[in-house]
Amino acid sequence: MKLQQLLSYTRKAVDDYGMIQEGDKIAVGISGGKDSLTLLYALKHLQRFYPKHFDLIAVTVNLGYGEFNLGKIRALCEELDVPYYVVDTDIAKIIFEERKEASPCSLCAKMRKGALNDKVKELGCNKVAYAHHKDDIVETMLLSLIYEGRFYSFAPVTYLDRMELTVIRPMMYVPEVDVIGFEKRYQLPVEKNPCPKDGVTRREYVKQLLRQLNLDNPGVKNRMFTAITNGNIKGWTKADER
């Protein structure tokens, strides 16, 4: 995928759901993976021509794994002229050494998001951008169906009342295969996830299940996404329909 296509997907999401307003200060949560680095590229280049002016920063929550090297990501942010901040935490130590969690993903996500949100509020941001793509949205719906018995997926725009912070997901229309293509084309400095549970989660199981479903029934992934957008799920009303 070329940058022009990425920007087309991103602008459509931003316009469809009114994600960006004049004067916003948006933080991009950078995990080090392909998705968040692609989102950083997308918003930085969108910033250059989008009619509503907004500021952009990047923030990484360092979970405390010793081998997590952020040097190349810092260099990319400098190249893109995006201020970059790192929040150092002991989340890995708390989860794996102190609490010895057998199923750590939920607690880790909660702590990571808490640390990120606290930092972006401290930096004066009113919005934070998550790098969830189209496949993530469908996978979340399947996770909800299988393990919770409800038809649900996170919304394109979510307002966090307690934090007075808005979460936006500008890559919601981008298929994961295109993110992979963008990463390779632009040689993004991806830093491997050092978590020992990476790749052995329920989400990974659902990802593989969805891949097989789409192989057996070509187009099913897109039809599931359409079901979500048309499913009257809270938060999925487009800006021009409100």
The per-residue pLDDT for 197 is: 67
Confidence (pLDDT) at 200: 65
How far apart CA 82 and CA 58 sit, in angstroms, is: 7
Residue 199 has pLDDT above 70, yes or no: no
Q: What is the pLDDT of residue 69?
A: 82
| Tens of pLDDT, residues 149-174 | 999 999 999 999 989 999 999 999 99
Residue 196 within a domain? yes
Residue 68 lies in a domain: yes
Whether 165 is covered by a domain: the verdict is yes
The answer to whether residues 26 and 55 touch, using CB atoms and an 8 Å cutoff, is yes
Q: In this model, does residue 209 exceed pLDDT 80?
A: yes
**242 lies in a domain?**
no
Neighbours of 186 (CB within 10 A): 16
CATH number (domain holding residue 120) = 3.40.50.620
For residues 64-79, give the mean pLDDT.
87
Domain that holds residue 152: 3-236
Would strands 127-129 and 84-88 be described as parallel, antiparallel, or unpaired? unpaired
**Position 87: which residue type?**
V
Position 47 confidence tier, pLDDT thresholds 50, 70, 90: very high
pLDDT tens for each residue of 3-20: 999 999 999 999 999 999
**Lowest-confidence segment of 49-58, 60-69, 81-90, 213-222 by average pLDDT:** 60-69
Q: Which residues of 121-157 are buried (b: 16+ CB within 10 A; e: fewer)?
A: beeebbbbbbbbbbbbbbbbbbbbeeeeeeebbbbbb
Give the span between the Cα atoms of 155 and 101, in whole angstroms: 29
91 found inside a domain: yes
When divided into structural domains, the chain yields a total of 1
Question: Would 106 be classed as within a structural domain?
Answer: yes
Tens-digit pLDDT profile for residues 101-142: 777 777 888 898 999 999 999 999 999 999 999 999 999 999
